[in-house]
Structure 1
């Protein structure tokens, strides 16, 4: 029987990027959110940021670092367009 394994996250960085990889908006503090528990999180973008996004394609990039992990684990979302 197998269960779900969780790895503690010491630091989490969430960014909104353009398709070229250029940073559009940082959703967590510059040094990352610290000591998060496993959960689902939601972020609200300021209206000014939403207007600046326009209809271009974007994606999210998340970087998670466990205690004593030298290089962060990085994942990117599928591209999407702001509505």
Structure 2
């Protein structure tokens, strides 16, 4: 059973992939300024951030929102 979601940019993107792209794009310091959570500002790492984000729905929503914003910004800049 395959539920295609062609209009959903988050479909098929793992939290780890989102976080990795955000860190590559913004860096940990800027990411911590955009989303002020401790796992981004104090000894940040992908594994510790993933552990926190998987347990904290409000923080995951913020990461998803920033990821979508980054995608929109990149799409606008390529036009």
Normalising by structure 2, what TM-score? Answer: 0.23
Q: Which has the larger radius of gyration?
A: 1
Question: Which of the pair is proportionally richer in helix?
Answer: 2
Normalising by structure 1, what TM-score? Answer: 0.22
Question: Which of the pair is proportionally richer in strand?
Answer: 1
